[in-house]
Amino acid sequence: MKLFVGLGNPGAKYAANRHNIGYLAVERIAADHGFGPWKTKFQGQISEGRLGMERVVLLKPETFMNLSGQSVNAAVQFYKFDPSDVTVFHDELDLEPGKMRLKTGGGHAGHNGLRSIHQHLGTEYNRVRLGIGHPGHKDRVAAYVLHDFAKSDQDWIEDLLQGVSDGAPDLAVGDNQRFMNAVSMRTAPARSSDKQTGGKPTVAAPAPAPDTEDTRTPMQKLLDKFR
**19 is in which domain, residue-wise?**
2-190+204-224
Task: Assign 162 to helix, strand or coil.
Answer: helix
Asked whether residue 27 is domain-assigned, the answer is: yes
193 Rama class: left (phi>0) / alpha (psi -120 to 50) / beta: beta
Asked whether residue 46 is domain-assigned, the answer is: yes
Calpha distance 208→186 (Å, rounded): 9
Asked whether residue 168 is domain-assigned, the answer is: yes
Asked whether residue 60 is domain-assigned, the answer is: yes
- List 45's β-bridge partners, or say none: 40, 60
pTM (predicted TM-score): 0.84
pLDDT of residue 220: 59
DSSP label of 205: P
In sequence order, which ranges of the chain are alpha helices (DSSP H)?
21-32, 68-79, 112-121, 141-145, 154-172, 176-187, 218-224
pLDDT tens string 164-181: 999 999 999 999 999 999
Pick from 8-12, 61-65, 100-104, 188-192: least confident: 188-192
* Active-site choice (19, 33, 90, 111): 19
Is 90 one of the annotated active-site residues of the chain? no
Calpha distance 204→218 (Å, rounded): 22
Asked whether residue 196 is domain-assigned, the answer is: no
Taking alpha carbons only, the member of 61, 141, 157, 149 closest to residue 100 is 157
Calpha distance 150→111 (Å, rounded): 22
Calpha distance 65→17 (Å, rounded): 12
Taking alpha carbons only, the member of 74, 22, 77, 83 closest to residue 43 is 74
pLDDT tens string 55-69: 999 999 999 999 999
Other CB atoms within a 10 A radius of the CB of residue 16 amount to 19
Other CB atoms within a 10 A radius of the CB of residue 224 amount to 9
- CATH code of the domain containing 126: 3.40.50.1470
Asked whether residue 198 is domain-assigned, the answer is: no
Domain count along the chain: 1
Asked whether residue 199 is domain-assigned, the answer is: no
Predicted confidence band at 28 (pLDDT cuts at 50, 70, 90)? very high
Asked whether residue 110 is domain-assigned, the answer is: yes
pLDDT tens string 101-153: 999 999 999 999 999 999 999 999 999 999 999 999 999 999 999 999 999 99
